[in-house]
Structure 1
């Protein structure tokens, strides 16, 4: 007896899409070949988990599975018939139940059966034309922040030990799914193979953050750079650039570096937003203390505190 797909993922039949997604991620992570090298049992479990998720994460496939229209492999179930099937429905020696004019066994043939099941389009067929395509396979791939921004070449290890070479496109977002056409399981003879669906997980960067197509950066500057102004180096995904800090710049001031953000779907790049933060020296010596005490007596001001 085929295993129940819900049992494979460890969820109930009434599970929500979010619960199915969470269960798949947890099970796939625990049984992934990269985590369990040379573990045949884990690789087999990973294949079953992936195949179960392929059906249950697709609303239409899940409906078909729950209704018994497809099996656990995603293949269409064939109708059962016998000469004594009249009381159970289906086909009998007295004709196909529910079909007007079918009065005897010789009144229909296997071409009629397939026409009723798959749709005749107004004509008779000598054989069924339906051939289920292969199943899609789902994987998860972690990439660094800069790899997501700039694009990269990556390799995905498959449960059977094979590999997929993947071009991560420039500007890919966390949670985005990439489709590799024809890299899923093989379908029935004469049908197309399934696809490989790669969900991208972007690791956070210690300095950069992404907001849409813009990149955010907090830049520490010295007190003298804030007071006197000057040119400071700013890191960007493509290298360091010079930023002109005007005289009298306060903490929280944000500067925009045009075109230094992420390349969006339109083909245009966002900007990099640099917010400066004044950082005092670790040691405040006597000369600095004396200078500011003298300065405060003559130039005290209200910064707008409430």
Structure 2
């Protein structure tokens, strides 16, 4: 009946109500760069983005700027897509608003690399600190911790500090892996060289014995 009568009457198949139904607004997607420290914070982060505006005919007419205070979810990961319902473009003709999708991007950190929920930091040490042991202050995302490097530690060896990594979905923090790196003095005078030579003779150590 509706095809015969052209949907003119309100009693024929509800065609008029379908034609006047609103259209859902467009979703908006944007990348959100955050610092590693912000993944541990309870404070909200201000996000500003562009929202497309459409006329009743569905034609794009302009963009408006919109700002929100967004709380970063615990355990968020790099590349994760977060949905904020109803924060996208407004609906047309009474339709529902679209959604805002935030794609999380971790900003590179000058000290830490990321390995899942764990962090990695390289700790420079003098050769004698590896040989004799040392207690060294190591940076974390929330301050510094004192790390005891055992005597006889090896270059490239990893130590770990529990609870100083990133948050996971359970609200627990991963490990901070501390990678030991021997660093030689840039210059040395004749007296220092003589001490190295004496050490080489007394140690009688061949690092390539099984090479």
Q: Which structure carries more strand by proportion?
A: 2
Which residues in structure 2 correspond to 1:103-252 (within 5 Å)?
105=5, 109=9, 111-114=11-14, 127-128=17-18, 131-150=22-41, 152-159=43-50, 160-188=64-92, 191-252=95-156
Unaligned residue ranges in structure 2 (runs of 5+): 51-63
- Residues 151, 174 of structure 1: CA spacing in aligned structure 2 closer, same or farther, 3 A cutoff? farther
In 2: Cα distance, 1:260 partner to 1:232 partner? 16
- Residues 134, 278 of structure 1: CA spacing in aligned structure 2 closer, same or farther, 3 A cutoff? same
- Residues 193, 212 of structure 1: CA spacing in aligned structure 2 closer, same or farther, 3 A cutoff? same
In 1: Cα distance, 2:138 partner to 2:11 partner? 73
Report the equivalent of 2:59: none
Structure 1 length-normalised TM = 0.57
Which deviates further from its counterpart, 160-169 or 257-266? 160-169
In 2: Cα distance, 1:223 partner to 1:302 partner? 16
In 2: Cα distance, 1:243 partner to 1:273 partner? 11
Out of 174, 178, 181, which is 1:277 matched to?
181
Count of residues paired in the alignment: 196
Report the equivalent of 1:53: none
Q: Which structure carries more helix by proportion?
A: 1
Report the equivalent of 1:24: none
Which deviates further from its counterpart, 144-153 or 204-213? 144-153
Which residues in structure 2 correspond to 1:253-268 (within 5 Å)?
253-268=157-172
Which residues in structure 2 correspond to 1:13-92 (within 5 Å)?
none
- Structure showing greater radius of gyration is 1
Q: Deviations over 1:96-119 (max 9, x none)?
A: 4xxxxxxx659x95554447xxxx
Name the SS for the 1:161 alignment partner.
strand
CA apart distance, 1:277: 0.2
Report the equivalent of 1:296: 200
CA apart distance, 1:204: 0.5
CA apart distance, 1:283: 1.6
Name the SS for the 1:215 alignment partner.
strand
Unaligned residue ranges in structure 1 (runs of 5+): 1-90, 97-103, 116-125
